[in-house]
Chain A
Amino acid sequence: MKTNSSTGSVDSAPPWRPLARRVTLWATIASWLALGYLVWYVAPDWRGVADVSAPYTRKILFYHPASAWATFLAYFLVFSYSVAYLNERDHRYDNPAAAAAEVGWFLNTLALATGTVWGTVEWSRTGQHPLATVYTEPKVLVVLVMWFTMSAYLLLRRAVRDPDDRARLAAVFGILGFAGAPLSFMTSRILQTSLHPDIAGPGANPDAAVGPTVGAVIGFSVVAFSLLTIHLWLTRWTMLDIADTANDPDDPEHQHA
Chain B
Amino acid sequence: MDLLRLSPVPATTHGASRTITDLALILTIAAVSIAANALLFAIPITTTLLGTVATGCTALAIVASLAGALSAQTNNPILGPVLVIPGAAPILQAALAQSLTILAGLTLVYAGLAWFLWPHALGEAS
List residues of A whose CB falls within 8 A of some B CB.
86, 89, 138, 141, 145-146, 148-149, 151-152, 155-156, 159-161, 165, 168-169, 171-173, 175-177, 179-181, 183-184, 186-188, 190-192
Contact = CB atoms under 8 A, between A and B. Distances in A.
Nearest to A145: B89
A156 B79 contact: yes
Given A176-B117, A177-B86, 4 more contacts: A141-B93, A172-B117, A179-B109, A180-B87
Q: Nearest 3 pairs between A and B by C-beta?
A: A180-B86, A159-B74, A149-B86
B113 A176 contact: yes
| Chain B: interface size category | 20 to 34
A236 to B, nearest CB: 22
Nearest to A180: B86
14 contacts: A145-B85, A148-B82, A149-B86, A152-B83, A152-B86, A159-B74, A169-B73, A176-B67, A179-B87, A179-B109, A183-B90, A184-B86, A191-B93, A191-B97
B93 A188 contact: yes
Interface of B: 63, 66-67, 70, 73-76, 79, 82-83, 85-87, 89-90, 93-94, 97, 99, 102, 106, 109-110, 113, 116-117, 120-121, 123, 125-126
Contact of B82 (A155, A161, A181): A155
Contacts of A160: 73-75
A152 B79 contact: yes
A168 B120 contact: yes
A183 B83 contact: no
A148 to B, nearest CB: 5
